[in-house]
Structure formats: structure tokens, C-alpha cells
Amino acid sequence: MTINADKGLAPWGVLHQGLSMKLGITIGRASQLVGAVVIILDILLGQRIGWGTIGNVTFIGFFIDLFTINHIVPAYENVLASYAEMIIGMVIMSLATYLYLSVQLGAGPRDGLMIALTKRIPLPVGLIRNLIEVGVVVAGYFLGGSVGLGTLVMAIGLGRLIQLFFGLFKFDVRKVKHRYVDEDFAFLFRHIRNTNGK
């Protein structure tokens, strides 16, 4: 919805589009590539990997391409309808951030970066999210990504909306106890070892 609103891409979308043009790949593939790189940064910052992390990297890029290539989401010529579509897209993205983080199966790479920095820097989660997204917009712009008034609205508004939903549902991202991939593999290996021991 934020892509088809055509009022400037969301911050990470600017980076993905810029990379897609530079590398000759789809925006979805660029999203997956950026996700993989950010996972490495997350690990360096002490953020562990969950099944939600892997699903995020794999499926978001896939669905971006599926929806954009097949024109599943409508695009409007009317300015007000376009901005309404963008705002609804922002609300959905923000609510979805709360929903998938609350199941505690690991954060996506971008949200993992937000969580890792929130745990280390004594600033509100919304402000940290804003700072990350402003930096991403600058990088994406210099790679040739599309920037517009909508980009500014999303760079500022997404962090605030995420913070709003976290507050509404009394969700403290600093206290989340995710279940991680390494824990599941350790459990599996213990189970196999115990079964073979019998």
C-alpha cells in the first residue's frame, strides 16, 4: 500500500529500490539482501535469531514482489485516496510489528536492530526507530531510491505508530523473551540423544 500510494517510498523501501536499480534485481530481492546484511549486524550487536527472523527475511521480500508484480494492491490517481492508502499501510505495518513481535519467535532483522539499539541506548523506541529510518532514507536516496513527502511522513510516523501500538497493548520491547533457533536445535539434539540413550 505504501509503494502503490506513490507519495515516496517508506524508508526501507527507498533503500530497497535504490539497491534494486543498482544491482538489477527486484525490490523484493533487494529487501531479502538487506535483511541478510542487517541480520549480521544484529548478531554483532548481540541480537539472536529466531524463526520469525528467518521468516521475515524470506517472506516479506517474496510478498513484496508477488503483490507489486501482479498488481494485487490498487493504485489511485486521486491525491487524497493515495495519502489515505499510505496512512492505512503505515497503520497495518505498525500493528503487524506488534503482532509478530508479541509471539516471541524472534525479531525480523530491521526490528532486531531497533530492539538491540533500544536495549543499549536510553531513548524511547519510537525515536530510535526514527533515527534508523532517517539514516536508511539518506542511504537509499543516494542510491537512487524514490523520496517524496510520503517518505518524510513515514520516516517520522512509523516509529510513533509503533510506539503507540506498543503502549496500547502494554508491550515492553525491552522485556521480550524470544524463542530462538539455537534453543530449538539444542532441544532437538537433547531429545535425540535421550531417545538414542534409551
Q: In tens digits, what is the pLDDT along the chain, a chain of 198 residues?
A: 888 888 888 889 999 999 999 999 999 999 999 999 999 998 898 888 899 899 989 999 999 999 988 999 998 989 999 999 999 999 999 999 899 888 888 888 988 888 888 888 888 877 887 888 888 999 999 999 989 998 888 888 888 898 899 999 998 877 878 788 888 888 888 888 888 765
CA-CA distance, 34 to 37, in Å (whole number)?
5
Burial class (CB in 10 A: 0-12, 13-18, 19+), 137: buried
Q: What is the pLDDT of residue 90?
A: 92
pLDDT number for residue 91: 95
Coil, strand or helix: which one is 176?
coil
Q: Look at residue 59 in the predicted model and tell me its pLDDT.
A: 92
Residue 47: per-residue pLDDT: 84
Q: DSSP character for 76?
A: -
Tell me the pLDDT tens digit for each residue of 113-163: 888 888 888 888 778 878 888 889 999 999 999 899 988 888 888 888 988
Predicted local distance difference test score (pLDDT) of residue 198: 59
In the chain, what's the furthest Cα-to-Cα distance? 69
Quick check: 14 and 135 in contact, CB under 8 A? no
pLDDT of 197 reads 66
Position 121 scores a pLDDT of: 86
Is 84 in a helix, a strand, or coil? helix
Predicted pLDDT at 24: 95
